[in-house]
Amino acid sequence: MLVVKKFGGTSVANKERIYNVAKRCIEEYKKGNQVVVVLSAMGDTTDELLEKAFEINPRASKRELDMLLTTGEQVSVALMAMAINGMGVPAVSLNAFQVMMYSTSAYGNSRFKRVDTDRIRHELESGKIVIVTGFQAVNKYDDYTTLGRGGSDTTAVALASVLHADKCEIYTDVDGVYTADPRVVKNARKLNEVTYDEMLELASHGAKVLHNRSVEMAKKYGVPLVVRSSLNDHEGTIVKEVAKMEKMLITGVAGEKDVVRVSVIGIDDKPGIAFKIFNTLAKNKINVDIILQSIGRDGTKDISFTVAQGDLTGTLEVLGANKEALTIQEVKYKTDVAKISIVGAGMMSNPGVAARMFEALYNSGININMISTSEIRITVLIAENEMDRALNAVHEEFRLGME
């Protein structure tokens, strides 16, 4: 059997944790399995490296940022190989160059294009545990790229897919995927199973327990994922195509603070303007989420939309540079907003779910700024300082804490 095991930052944060992971990997190896281990940077290393970069140059290029950030994962894999070797088991650490994990050229948020297996297979066949850097890849210029924050999960799924692994386990600092972030909602309950589609909606809307691209890729290539704790042996959560239907209408709730609302005011109320605005943003690789258009009056209208915090400067620059062409009179933005989402396949066949969510927020005195929906998700934009309270209220309304 070939097993891919991924351990996140907290799971390798210090010497004891590294030994703990080393032991778990050796246990798997001693069962006669081939073991590929994917690691994140230790503890808060990635954040610390970003801070250092900011101190040196707040406008550092994305290329140099990736050059810096990829060092974090390289430290973890080398130390892990040393730990496993020290326990008498052969192991080798490899980075993205050595494995040959190729990505698109975009720094900071690249996607895998091709992942070679020769080197890993060769090392596995010579009896070693193979330890691979998460989060990083190499682009066509032979530069390092990173896959976006939390991207080590995606490295694990990519490797599980190309190696046709029998298991892909994501070890983290909680027991699995919960109905809400257990650090925010005390009553959150661990899910035994969740579908790819529901997990993708949750991960894309703030449930950072899995990187959203990892779920997308797992669905595409049919890789079943197990999310579980690196600190105990509790059964985790299985993420797969079809999950056992729990009686719940809603599967989980998620919150996201990394969002800004941008409003373009006084644009011409005629065909083609919305197209031009969003096309201009898309061409500049700015991802827009919720969109709300006001009713036209006196030949003009307003459009509000949300973008990630990191895209705010770019959005303002692009809109400013095209102000006349896009007929914009004024651009406003608000950063102290957050999104909360409810997700569940159950809402497809049950009317009134949105009303219940809105009522729960109303009863807590929380105002809704914008709304967006998919087949299995409802998202609302609210004030940032009300996010945790909103998550608890909605979680309670749908009784997600109950078995």
- Binding residues vs ligand ASP (CB under 6 A): 8-9, 40-41, 46, 72, 134-135, 149-152
Per partner kind, with CB cut-offs from 5 to 8 A, the member of Mg ion, ligand ASP, ligand ADP, none near residue 135 is ligand ASP
72 scored as a contact of Mg ion (CB under 5 A): no
Question: What string marks each residue from 10 to 29 as x (binds ligand ADP by CB under 6 A) or -?
Answer: xx------------------
- Tokens, residue 203: 């991960």
Cα–Cα distance list, 9 to 46, 145, 170 (Å): 9, 19, 12
236 scored as a contact of ligand ADP (CB under 6 A): no
- How far apart (Å, rounded) are the C-alpha atoms in residues 177 and 66? 29
Stretch that binds ligand ADP, among 68-76, 139-147, 181-189, 302-310 (CB under 6 A): 181-189
**Residue bearing tokens 């957050």:** 338
Q: Which of 43, 134, 150, 151 is close enough to bind Mg ion by CB under 5 A?
A: 150
Closest CB to ligand ASP among residues 170, 360? 170
Beta bridge mates, 372: 379
CB of 40 to ligand ASP, least distance (A): 4
Q: How many residues does the chain have?
A: 403
**Are the C-beta atoms of residues 375 and 348 closer than 8 Å to each other?**
yes
Give exposure, 303-335, as e/b (b: 16+ Cβ within 10 Å). bbbbbbeebbeebeebbeebeeebbbeeeebbe
CB of 44 to ligand ASP, least distance (A): 8
Stretch that binds ligand ADP, among 62-70, 109-117, 156-164, 166-174 (CB under 6 A): 166-174
Which are the contacts of 10, defined by CB distance < 8 A and separation ≥ 6? 17, 43, 172, 173
Stretch that binds Mg ion, among 67-75, 100-108, 144-152, 177-185 (CB under 5 A): 144-152
CB of 267 to ligand ADP, least distance (A): 37
CB of 213 to Mg ion, least distance (A): 12
CB of 317 to ligand ADP, least distance (A): 30
Per partner kind, with CB cut-offs from 5 to 8 A, the member of Mg ion, ligand ASP, ligand ADP, none near residue 217 is none
* Host H or E run for residue 332: strand 330-334
344 scored as a contact of ligand ADP (CB under 6 A): no
Stretch that binds ligand ADP, among 31-39, 171-179, 350-358, 379-387 (CB under 6 A): 171-179
**Are the C-beta atoms of residues 260 and 333 closer than 8 Å to each other?**
yes
DSSP for 27-94, written as a single string = HHHHTT-EEEEEE--STTHHHHHHHHHHHH-TT--HHHHHHHHHHHHHHHHHHHHHHHHHTT--EEEE
Helices assigned H by DSSP within 126-272: 152-162, 196-204, 212-221
Please give the residue whose beta carbon sits closest to ligand ADP in the complex.
Answer: 8
Instruction: Kindly list the residues in this chain that would bind ligand ADP in the complex (CB under 6 A).
Output: 8-11, 40, 150, 172-174, 177-178, 180-183, 207-209, 252
